[in-house]
Structure 1
Amino acid sequence: MTDTRFDVLAIGNAIVDIIADTDDAFIANEGLTKGSMQLIDEERAQGLYAHMGPAREISGGSAANTLAGLARLGHKTAFIGQVANDQLGEVFAHDIRAGGIHFDVPARDGAPSTARCYILVTPDAQRTMNTFLGASQYLPASVIDKSLIESAAILYLEGYLWDPEEPRAAMRTAIDVARAAGRKVALTLSDAFVISRHGPDFIAEMDAGRIDILFSNEVEICALNNSDDFEASVAAISAKVPLLVCTRGEHGAIAVENGVRTEVKAEPVTQLVDTTGAGDLFAAGVFAGLAQGRPMAECLTMGAVCAAEIISHYGARPEADIADLVAKRLG
């Protein structure tokens, strides 16, 4: 990628993950659906935190996790997201800058507080996520820096953030800037609940030629196509975007680029601990491969290597040297 300052600039939720081990009984007692993600208000957030066991606080947010992986793979990245002027906001800002990611959005004064996601991990490594969006859903279009968007080869949009009205308007503005500058636009669908609310919006953006790269998993791609048939959904949606990347958990991943399909198997995992961030780090590997001009099979393999590392420990930020893991895997 030439004539750019950043390989990827992402717009997403600025969230601190609060992760705790739990069991199925706790999930049931709290009235939660195991393995799901739900939005909660601040009162529910405080009540859930009071009931949880000992927890770890790790900066997260889907798009921010992807950038953290990309930075660890040696790529230049930037992030646009909103935190509040509070302790967790300082934690998030410190962590993302310490990871080598450009971040200069001013913290927001007053309520609500910085977003956080309460992640409950059961012994089978399934995570049940409860997200208080807080300040992140008040990202205004005024913080969209035109020159910053123009300086990135790819603009990456987090589907989760499409839900609140204010950041949705900000992302539409960013798409306009990126398209005018001849940059590529990538979108991750994030979750089936987002699609249930905004699927027609996403389809309209794709039909208008405003999305170049779409990231999904098999549940999301079927939801977007309003079908239970995975292959039919891949065929329908891949016809709308130049590049569709779809993860399938232990069954690996596929990509369809301009009608050409590529598949890879999942990488072996010695110990499955926490699946939080697997899709985020998969995207990081794919973006890195694209930036390096690699064949699609290698891009997908890089994604699989990064995903395998992230699910071997708690949290959605890499702990091992993923660049070294990729180098050993691909030679």
Structure 2
Amino acid sequence: MSTFDVLTIGNAIVDIIARCEDRFLDDNEIIKSAMNLIDAERAELLYSRMGPALEASGGSAGNTAAGVASLGGRAAYFGKVASDQLGEIFTHDIRAQGVHFQTRPLGSQPPTARSMIFVTPDGERSMNTYLGACVELGPEDVEPDVVAEARVTYFEGYLWDPPRAKDAIRDAARIAHAHGREVAMTLSDSFCVHRYRAEFLELMRSGTVDIVFANRAEVLALYETEDFEAALSALAKDCRLAAVTLSEDGSIILRGTDRVRIAAHDVARVVDTTGAGDLYAAGFLFGYTAGLPLERCGALGSLAAGIVIEQVGPRPMVSLKVEAERLGLL
């Protein structure tokens, strides 16, 4: 028996979420529906211009860990915070979800990362992220025993921005594979894919990564094409297992020549799409590590994603396990 079902590794970020009109994005030169990396000065400027905001622990991989735990899974997380107020908030929140989190914090500088997320009336989110303490995540933060005891180690593509994190990820992958475990990644964002396309392909083709999560835009960016069918075929050849999310059209799971189409979960109203892909990965990986068929894994992913976009914030406010049991998925 493994100690953990899923270990996630990512940028430990506190989200500061506010609603705005599209004009606000234009006036402040914010790229809509993307993750924009910003410096401390830009972070202070945008914060001063935000309306009323909600603070919530976030970060892509942290959200996935919280989703796994909400489904009843055993989750662990590696991510770097500082010894400051936001760091305390993040640490409390992720542990309160039942996630193992023991990464040693920094001192007070650089401060804990924060992402100012502007949600427009259509539910789309535009993220402006100051990485702060995240850039200090390194090989010394890898807990070998936790990696060895996790069925799947999952990391976010965003980690390719802070340089030392790459070494940490490669170390974790070596440990995982040495113990017969698997490694998964999410491509995170099409802009992230454009920055690191060659490296992401190398991770897949070398076998460093076994499972890939992506959305339509990210897959098209990865293969530099507008032909979605061609991109799916290439992805199926480059990794052993992949799940591609398609918003309201559900998702497609690829394994060799096999394809499994998954319907989207019925949503009454889209409130905030923040965390949708993260929670899809949570549901899928929970099912996968439990040995469920791919159809059920995808359905759990759709359920988790559907629930989180009906609320503000990237972590489920209801028990995903209860909802999955109610629908007969568990």
Q: Output the amino acid matched with 2:243.
A: V
SS of alignment partner, residue 135 of structure 2: helix
The separation in 1 between residues aligned to 2:140 and 2:323, in whole angstroms, is 40
Q: Deviations over 1:20-58 (max 9, x none)?
A: 011112111111122221000011001100000010000
- Equivalent residue number for residue 313 of structure 1: 311
- Equivalent residue number for residue 275 of structure 2: 277
- Equivalent residue number for residue 256 of structure 2: 258
TM-score normalized by the length of structure 1: 0.97
Aligned identity (percent) is 45
- Equivalent residue number for residue 89 of structure 1: 87
Structure 1: gaps of 5 or more residues: none
What is the 5 A alignment of 1:237-256? 237-256=235-254
Query: Which among 117, 137, 140 is matched to residue 139 of structure 1?
Result: 137
The separation in 2 between residues aligned to 1:144 and 1:45, in whole angstroms, is 29
Structure 1 runs of 4+ with >2 Å offset: 328-331
Query: Which among 6, 9, 18 is matched to residue 7 of structure 2?
Result: 9
Q: Cα offset for 1:110?
A: 3.6
Q: 8 Å contact 2:67–2:279 — kept in the other structure?
A: yes
- Equivalent residue number for residue 104 of structure 1: 102
The separation in 2 between residues aligned to 1:57 and 1:106, in whole angstroms, is 22
Structure 2: gaps of 5 or more residues: none
- Equivalent residue number for residue 211 of structure 2: 213
What is the 5 A alignment of 1:162-311? 162-311=160-309
Q: Deviations over 1:62-93 (max 9, x none)?
A: 01101101001001011000001110000000
Q: 8 Å contact 2:6–2:286 — kept in the other structure?
A: no
- Equivalent residue number for residue 127 of structure 2: 129
- Equivalent residue number for residue 52 of structure 1: 50
The separation in 2 between residues aligned to 1:312 and 1:267, in whole angstroms, is 11
The separation in 2 between residues aligned to 1:269 and 1:111, in whole angstroms, is 42
Residue range with higher mean Cα deviation, 277-286 or 190-199: 190-199
- Equivalent residue number for residue 113 of structure 1: 111
Q: 8 Å contact 1:298–1:330 — kept in the other structure?
A: no
Aligned length: 329
Q: Output the amino acid matched with 1:135.
A: A
